[in-house]
Amino acid sequence: MIGSKQIDKILCIACGTLIGEHTKNGLARCLFRVQGTMIAEGEKEAIERNKKKVFEMVDELTTSDDVLDIKDDVLEKADGEKVSEET
């Protein structure tokens, strides 16, 4: 278990000073900076992962004959409905 005296001797990764030398406001500021950086990096990684998945899905869909056949059927039905509505 880590005690408060050991925590005081740990170097702050946000500003480079010892954690024990921080004021309450300074500690809160550094923790906020670290948390914000972690969240921003996590969002960037998530966005990149999702982009990769979307591109893979699009590739699969555009190469699948079944999907192309379904797309043609849907377009034909949509055209037929438009024609019947107009008459």
pLDDT digits (tens, 9 = 90+) for 16-72: 999 999 999 999 999 999 999 888 888 888 888 888 888 777 777 666 555 566 656
pLDDT of residue 47: 85
Cα separation of 37 and 26, whole Å?
17
Q: Supply the pTM of this predicted model.
A: 0.50
- Is a pLDDT exceeding 90 seen at residue 74? no
pLDDT of residue 43: 86
How many separate domains does the chain show?
1
Give the range of the structural domain holding residue 74, as residue numbers without chain letter: 4-86
pLDDT of residue 63: 65
Closest CA to 18 of 33, 37, 1, 4: 4
- Is a pLDDT exceeding 60 seen at residue 87? no
